[in-house]
Amino acid sequence: MPANKNALIRYKTIDRCLSNHFRRWTLEDLVDECSMALREMEGMTKGVSVRTVQGDIQMMRSDKLGYNAPIEVYDLKYYRYSDPDYTITGMPLSSNDVDVLQEAVEMLQQLQDFDQFGEMADVINRLQDKLSVTRQERNPIVHYDSVPDLRGLKLLSPLYDHIANHRVLRVIYQSFNQTEPIEYVLHPYLLKEFRNRWFLYGCTEGDMRLFNLALDRIVGVTPAKDIAFRHNPEFDPEHFFDNVIGVSKNLKGSHPRRVKFWASREQSNYIKTKPLHPSQKLISENPDDGSCIFQIEVVINFEMYSVFMSYGAGVRILSPRMAVSYMRKQFAEAAANYESITQ
């Protein structure tokens, strides 16, 4: 069993490397990556041999495991997938895989009634629905928002692995307002999802300044093997987002503000059942028109404004003054955009 487990770790490592199209991979590079993965995950100090990795590549190319991986050699020394969209993680489940997962789901279902496992209900429902679709070949009963073609999703698995194994990264990043990409040397700590977009949180080498980088704007990622990983004690991923809507917040200088807002009867019904933030409180309710005044305590950022703007005329910020001014300007510009449109 250990040998099988080690082989799976090597297959996954090779797949992660070949899925990274921003680097050219020699056989020696793949050997080094497999050796590092086994050392960090299994404590193996003995490195992997070139012959072992060559055998792994042949096994992945074959249909013995169902991979049929399109691994090719180019320029006489570099390895890659001839199909840039291929990954072994995208392979369909075998009947044995489905049976094993079904047993796991049934075990998890027995735990979800315990308070400490209550948040697993959503995950269990997703798994059960996927397994039912796979086993019975029926249409799904549950549908979740997703953006399957969103750029950067293939980075999730390798970034998770880098964070778990405390690897410093060289990240090539190009934001929407940059004409050329720039490089960050980043100590990565966390992956966060917001509105079907994923963000990488980490601190830069030297000044340990916190950044969040959208995965769909990351051009390339490679480990910085010559730099030791460092934690930033000021970044607590468990509580960092307690007073935030979205993803934007600094380690220092981002203090929550008390935001009071009015909502129409129609929007109040939605906001009562789905609060904008866990700190939300109902301040008052108008018995004549059904409108309400709510209050939240959050860091004021772009995502907070975007949430308020999504309610249109049905929601109006009352305080603080700077938030009122911002919203007034945004809606004035939006109204001006429509004035030039003729029917």
User: Coil, strand, or helix at residue 45?
Assistant: coil
Fold match, 2-89 / 257-339: no
pLDDT the model gives residue 107: 65
For 281-318, letters b (16+ CB in 10 Å) and e give eeeeeeeeeebbbbbbbbbbbebbbebbeebeebbbbe
Taking a C-beta distance cutoff of 8 angstroms, is the pair 253, 234 a contact?
Answer: no
The domain locations on the chain are 2-89, 95-136, 153-223, 257-339
Task: Convert the pLDDT of each residue in 222-269 to its tens digit.
Answer: 999 899 999 999 999 889 999 999 999 887 778 999 999 999 999 999
pLDDT the model gives residue 319: 96
pLDDT the model gives residue 217: 92
pLDDT the model gives residue 51: 94
In words, the CATH class of domain 257-339 is: alpha beta
Structure tokens given for 287: 């018995």
Residues of the chain with pLDDT under 50: 1-3
pLDDT the model gives residue 3: 46
In this structure, CATH architecture of domain 153-223: Roll (2.30)
Q: What's at 333, amino acid-wise?
A: E
Taking a C-beta distance cutoff of 8 angstroms, is the pair 120, 104 a contact?
Answer: no
Question: DSSP string spanning 236-286?
Answer: -TTTTTTT-SSS---SSS---EEEEEEE-HHHHHHHHHS-SSTT-EEEEE-
- 194: closest CA among 212, 211, 179, 182? 212
CATH (residue range 2-89): 1.10.10.10
